[in-house]
Amino acid sequence: MTSTENTQHSQTHQEPHLEATPVRPSAADRFFAALRRSGPTRSSDRWVAGVAGGTARRLGVDPLAVRVAFVVLSLFGGLGLGLYGLAWALLPDATGRIEAQAAHRGDVSGALAVAVGLVVLDLILGQGLLGLGWVF
């Protein structure tokens, strides 16, 4: 091969230089990563979704005390159902799955539907299941 052929051959087989551009996570991905770093997870010690068990473990209290608090808030203050539903949707389970994040990616589960239903029910009732509001 002559030098002209070598030059032509090397010019035809040059590969483009590609620079890797870093991919910045979306705001939603950063939000859900922050939730995972915050610590509480839904527990396998569960009656419904593990929210009370995970919250109790994070606070270092008996899970029954947290369950009673959710019930009291649901009956009298109206916040219990909404808080439980939000925690169910936003706290990761033992595998790291966050229902709201999965839904954001297109994987909507029955668990998320129930969690959203609790929040909506709380918003509709507004004054607690007994309709007493903040009486105490």
Confidence of residue 136 (pLDDT cuts 50, 70, 90): very low
Q: Answer whether residue 72 is part of any domain.
A: yes
- Residue 16 CA to residue 7 CA, distance in Å, equals 17
Q: Answer whether residue 67 is part of any domain.
A: yes
Q: Answer whether residue 6 is part of any domain.
A: no
* Of residues 49 and 59, more confidently modeled: 59
Q: Answer whether residue 113 is part of any domain.
A: yes
- Residues above pLDDT 90, as percent of the chain: 0
- What would the pLDDT profile of 10-29 be if each residue is shown by its tens digit? 555 555 565 666 777 778 88
Confidence of residue 86 (pLDDT cuts 50, 70, 90): confident
Judge whether residue 85 has pLDDT over 80: yes
Judge whether residue 133 has pLDDT over 60: no
Structural domain span for residue 96: 25-125
Torsion of CA 91, 97, 100, 106, to 10 degrees: 180
Confidence of residue 126 (pLDDT cuts 50, 70, 90): low
Domain count, the chain: 1
- Residue 98 CA to residue 112 CA, distance in Å, equals 9
Average pLDDT over residues 58-63: 86
Judge whether residue 130 has pLDDT over 70: no
- Residue 101 CA to residue 28 CA, distance in Å, equals 8
Q: Answer whether residue 93 is part of any domain.
A: yes
> How far, CA to CA in Å, does 26 sit from each of 33, 57, 61, 133?
11, 30, 35, 39
Q: Answer whether residue 135 is part of any domain.
A: no
